[in-house]
Amino acid sequence: MKDYDRAVADYHEAIRLNPNHGIARNNLVNLANQLIPPILERANASRDRNDYDAAIAQYREALKINPNHANARNNFKTLWDKRIAENPQIYPAPFTGWWSYHIPAIVEEARTETYYKTESYTVEGPSWRSDTNGSTYHPGTSKTISRQVAHTRNVPKKTILPAVTIIYEFKDTNYTTNSNGEFKSGTFFYKANKIELDDGTILVLENNAIKTGYLELVKMKPAEVKIYEDLRRLK
């Protein structure tokens, strides 16, 4: 069985690295023409039997192969909005409000380090002698000697990775995210403890926290929300 998912991912990566890569583009188009039609057939069949969850997942599958596929995108958007409109009872969501996650900066603290430097100095030969290589030194001659000498220096504090604060706001059917000043917004749908964003992100509501991958967002306190909103207004 061919690994189409891996092939699609590899072609997308090749195009990301080189947008003018003709072979990758052509191969991706050929693969999309092969894979997308049957996916859309399954998606449309799911939609026609009102299985919105399956249809939306299948339209996403097609868009993963070709994010610009107009038919898949339009059908996805229409069905996504319809599913929200037909479930007004779930809004406002029980997790409405502000949630945040803070990733501390990775920092190398200031320190003193030891380093070694080659230093040379000259000595006068006290008398003639032969060394192990047979070289003879006579009175009054000089010899250059090199050695490693220890030194110290102060290394200042250095930030390896800056701190990151991720904030989600859920209000009505909408969400907004802010990751260190980069904003994104859209709509969301949820069922049981699964929160699905329109960009495909899946969040899980569990033990009074919202989780996605390694992130665990916690509900912001009113005082924290006020400080955050005041700071936004100042920018």
Same domain, 191 and 223: yes
Q: Supply the pTM of this predicted model.
A: 0.70
Which residues 6+ apart lie within 8 Å of 31 measured at CB? 4, 7, 8, 11, 65
In a shared domain, residues 126 and 204 = no
Q: Same structural domain for residues 182 and 99? A: yes
| pLDDT for residue 114 | 92
pLDDT category of residue 48 using cuts at 50, 70 and 90 = very high
| Residues 6+ positions from 8 with CB-CB distance below 8 Å | 28, 31, 35, 64, 65
Residue 45: the pLDDT is 95
178 and 206 co-located in one domain: yes
Per residue in 159-200, pLDDT (tens digit) is: 888 888 899 999 999 999 998 888 999 999 999 899 999 999
Domain boundary among 155, 170, 189: 155
User: At 1, is the pLDDT very low, low, confident or very high (cuts 50, 70, 90)?
Assistant: very low
Is residue 75 scored above 90 in pLDDT?
yes
Give dist(CA 77, CA 60) in Å, integer.
10
Determine the average pLDDT of the residues in 105-114.
90
57 and 134 part of one domain: no
- CA dihedral for 190, 192, 195, 200, sign (positive or negative): negative
Are 97 and 184 members of one domain? yes
Q: What is the mean pLDDT of residues 125-153?
A: 66
Residues 98 and 182 in one domain: yes
Domain of residue 136: give its range: 111-155
The predicted model gives 208-225 an average pLDDT of 89
| Total structural domains within the chain | 3
Same-domain status, 100 and 115: no
Paired with 149 in beta bridges are 117
Ranges 17-31, 35-49, 205-219: which has the least confidence: 17-31
Q: In which element (H, E) is residue 200 found?
A: none
